[in-house]
Structure 1
Amino acid sequence: MQAVERSMPRHNPRLDKRLIITPRLMNKAPAVVVAGGTGYIGSHMVRMLRESGWRPIIIDNLATGHAEAAASAELKVGEIGDKAFVAAVLKEFEPQCVMHFAASSLVGESVQKPGKYWRNNLVQTLNLLDTMLEHGVTQFIFSSTAAVYGNPVEVPIPEDHPTRPINPYGHSKLAVEYALEDYSAAHGLRSITLRYFNAAGAHPDGSLGERHEPETHLIPLILQVASGRRPHIARYGSQHATPDGSCIRDYIHVQDLCAAHLLALRRLEAGAATTTYNLGNGLGHSVNEVIEAARRVTGHPIPMRDDPPRAGDPPVLVADAARARAELGWSPQYGDIETIIAHAWQWERRLHQAARHP
């Protein structure tokens, strides 16, 4: 099987324009604190902020992130729930906004260790919010999740769909959403919550991508099989209520997620009130379809093994993101599943090469 050659969508010039910013000019740019800025999505956000004329300041405990991903920004190592630490950062940089990507996010682990998820995702976030308010920072962008919907009764899923999470991860994220509404009413905090569906892909130039330990996301796991780092990919259930029996998910490119954050930042800057948006392409792809697409992109067979279905795995999760398109002016640039996989494959080959020649 031969690898497929295809033309990639062109970068959005409005968002990907490379700015020549000297350190002196960067120090005068408006600051944005990026909590969790050395992780997968956060590192892409840091680069986009810098290239768009902002000054990203990362706060991260490096528990799961990678310090080298912070090469283009200032990194402060510490806990988002450490009020003295966060206060010092806010006092030094006087940021306009805080973007919050830091979280524990493994659904299975959340069932086994719920206390960890309530502490990391809720308690630490409340400490962060309190410290922000004490220092006059009133703009906040929160990374939430489609897990707040639980098992959907309507697909595509709109923002006003009932929120009935079925695991501690979803519960903890929804609790923060409620807190943001209350903080807005009581303290004037203005926040935009972005409910991600399935983040995927890598930076188009191959320099940033997904690197979790352990890896749990479908596309990088599939590509590790293609590169020879894993023997097969597990398909969890083949009897779901879907056309081919495998789960259907809405995959959204990491660059498109970051573009939505940048638009949310500009909306808050213009005085927007607290609100919530779904982020997804509105297109569902089954596990079988993703594996077949990866076979076409990589030219590798990618063996598959059937495993029992996972408890609490909804058959279908697809976003209705019409509100984000209408109000933010958001238009995903990388909606094609093969493009998402091709960018991730470029990153996986780089990781594989680095592992072979450390």
Structure 2
Amino acid sequence: MTAPQADPAATCPIPALKARPALAVLWTPGRTLAPSNRAAMDQFLTSARRLDLDVTIVGEADLDRLAEFDGLFIRDHTRLDDYTHQFALRAAELGLASIDDPLSMRICADKVEQVRLFERHRVPTPKTLLLHRENIGQAIPLLGLPCVVKLPDSSFSRGVCKVECEAEFHARCLQWFDRAPILVAQEYIRTRFDWRIGVLDRRPLFACRYHMVPGHWQVVQNAGSPDYREGLTQAVALSDTPQTVLAAALAAADTVGDGFYGVDVKECGDRPLVLEVNDNPNVDAGHEDALVGSALYDAVMASLARRIRAVCR
């Protein structure tokens, strides 16, 4: 299967809007695990204004102001149990064009739901078992050791554990069953990096290699703590990205929706294996945009402008 190609470096068409639409950008400077650094946010805002969007930065206290706007762009780390989800829900109730939408947030926050979606749509993944107390004995024969155990709401590598032996596996599962009735268990595949494919409007937008933290098995370590570390981010041209990786990423993103996603893919030999789809993917200046520059920001804002035009007709 050949993945459709997008050229984010091409000039983004400026949608013809009857009036200057108002866009709320939910962003809290300095918030832990923010998906964009300040330089990237400056680029997003510049692109929005170039598209004649009337941009206002809003924060947690501004939920009741959403009716003043035509669209919402969320650039805070999204969670279902905080204000970011409340903003997405309110935007949907008001009929605003938004990235992220609440359904995408819900699916991406639930690794169990993603496993079921991937299975239903035949998206290639590592060997996976939805784990509960009654089938715990099936995991090691199926997945081998070491293997990876995840909480359904894991993010930024938190709530994800690599277990090396049977005793550690059972201890971790029994501990986490007190937090969730179903866990995700997967085979461990050692690679030097994970692919991150940015997908927007069901088309690839950017590609990166997220390298593992030196001496660690994940791309980030100690997320949310003062000891936070992350591996090297290496931007790759879409034309240099394996077509099989792009196709797998697009198939996975399609199971979630038509929003803005980051799809994590491992290569096992010549086989792409999807790990997960993330809503609100990281876009940091100097990382994801290293090859395409301002075109990445223009593409996202042009998508929002088109969405606003569609709902404001």
- TM interval, shorter chain, is 0.3 to 0.5
Structure of higher RCO (CA pairs closer than 8 Å, 6+ residues apart) = 2
In terms of fraction of residues, the more strand-rich structure is: 2
TM-score, normalised to structure 2's length?
A: 0.35
In terms of fraction of residues, the more helix-rich structure is: 1
TM-score, normalised to structure 1's length?
A: 0.31
